[in-house]
């Protein structure tokens, strides 16, 4: 029993496929769009297609780009001696938003997952090795996620990067800044104890 | 400092204008759209424009419709002796979803709000009176919202409908089914005491 006219049903169904959007939110959004000015709807529809039509991957680091190279690779002020390797563009963005990193990136677009048939050739690893041969890289920071597939990927990368004359580092693990020790999980707590540093 | 390429930023901005969607959700949705199959994006963009291009108001009851008359007015099984007057299409849908009403509707598209300059001529009231002259209506159920503007609208409607030979009713007020008396607000509790009924 669907009380909506077909165009509204269709929009609710499409919006309901977005992450975190249930049927209730999708309905609310659909009614908002229904009552919004035509110009907004056109801009929204154009923006949806825009990320399909106008987004490509940076030829160098595989970050999202709207030209051959991404904004970071195009920026002459970035430190080209540093490459931070991340799994996905959203990880890159999280690091960029901190404002605390001025080097370049390399986006793998995934992680190793042998059970899912995702081997090294599904990631942009060869391209990273090629960059080490042609760019003045001094340090590679491996910033894959601190979960099982991310750690597997990091260990594999470490092995592949070893023959190159670069420093290989990874993100520090420990208790979150501003966190409460009471609520830190025990594996993190053990890591923070093991890697404790002097005052 | 915006780390996203322009097409992604644009999409995040447009999605962020939807109700209940903050910047974080909009970003998550934008990345989902970015990674979704092209067919989904086309369907979503088309659906967004669809509610602008293909939705009109029912000529008779002003419900949302994809043809001259809405699905309810077109349905010969609905009881044409009953008209339920609601403020908005979403109220109509809430009643339809109960499955407990088989009459017709009339959608006012708003409520009286003199302070906002919304007088009776901004609502589809004349069209309702016209229906009473031409349709075999026996009862008008006034189902405006139980808040101040809705009640004002209901009282105004009651006055305008009085000259017609129809029964005028409104939705029962009282404690919600399955509710807990402890948490019912005092105005609702007073209403439920006043309108108490025999076992």
CB contact under 8 A, B5 and A96: no
Using an 8 Å CB-CB cutoff, list chain A residues near B11: 47-48, 50-51
The segments of chain A whose pLDDT lies below 50 read none
Q: Is the pLDDT of residue B47 over 90?
A: yes
Tell whether A46 is within 8 A of chain B (Cβ).
yes
- Please name the member of A34, A43, A48 whose beta carbon is closest to the beta carbon of B33: A48
CATH number of B58-170: 3.40.1360.10, 3.40.50.300, 2.60.40.420, 3.60.110.10?
3.40.1360.10
- Please name the member of B18, B34, B55 whose beta carbon is closest to the beta carbon of A8: B55
- Please name the member of B18, B27, B38 whose beta carbon is closest to the beta carbon of A52: B38
The pLDDT score that the predictor gives to residue B107 is 97
Mutation target vs B (from A12, A19, A45; most B CBs, 10 A cutoff): A45
Task: Please report which confidence band the pLDDT of residue B1 belongs to, taking 50, 70 and 90 as the band edges.
Answer: low
What number does CATH give the domain A6-54? Answer: 1.10.8.420
Give the minimum alpha-carbon distance from A112 to chain B in angstroms, rounded to a whole number.
Answer: 19
Q: Is B115 helix (H, G, I), strand (E, B) or coil?
A: helix
Tell whether B64 is within 8 A of chain A (Cβ).
yes
The contacts of residue B93 (CB under 8 Å, 6+ apart) are A3, A4
Q: Angle B148-161/B125-134 helices, nearest 10 degrees? A: 40
**CB crowding B71-99: b at 16 or more within 10 Å, else e:** bbbeeeebeeebbbbbbbbebbbebbeee
CB contact under 8 A, A7 and B55: yes
Q: Is the pLDDT of residue B197 over 80?
A: no
- Please name the member of B10, B48, B64 whose beta carbon is closest to the beta carbon of A41: B48
Q: Do domains B6-54 and B58-170 have the same CATH topology?
A: no
Task: Indicate the DSSP class of residue A118.
Answer: B
The pLDDT score that the predictor gives to residue A1 is 54
pTM: 0.76
Q: Provide the residue ranges of all domains of chain A, joining segments of one domain with +.
A: 6-54, 58-170
């Amino acid at each position: 029993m669907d009380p909506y006219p077909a165009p509204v049903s269709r929009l609710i169904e499409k919006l309901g496929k977005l992450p975190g959007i249930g049927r209730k939110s999708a309905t609310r959004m659909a009614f908002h769009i229904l009552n919004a000015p035509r110009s907004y709807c056109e801009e929204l529809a154009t923006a949806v297609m825009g990320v399909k039509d106008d987004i490509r991957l940076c030829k160098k680091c595989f970050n999202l780009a709207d030209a051959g190279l991404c904004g970071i690779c195009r920026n002459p002020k970035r430190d080209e001696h540093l490459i931070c390797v991340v799994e996905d563009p959203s990880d890159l963005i999280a690091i960029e938003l901190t404002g605390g990193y001025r080097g370049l990136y390399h986006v793998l677009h995934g992680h190793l997952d042998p059970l899912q048939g995702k081997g090294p050739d599904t990631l942009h690893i060869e391209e990273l090795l090629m960059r080490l041969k042609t760019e003045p890289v001094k340090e590679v920071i491996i910033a894959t996620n601190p979960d099982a597939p991310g750690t597997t990927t990091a260990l594999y990368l470490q092995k592949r990067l070893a023959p190159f004359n670069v420093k290989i580092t990874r993100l520090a693990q420990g208790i979150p800044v501003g966190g409460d020790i009471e609520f830190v999980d025990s594996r993190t707590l053990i890591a923070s104890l093991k890697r404790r540093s002097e005052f």
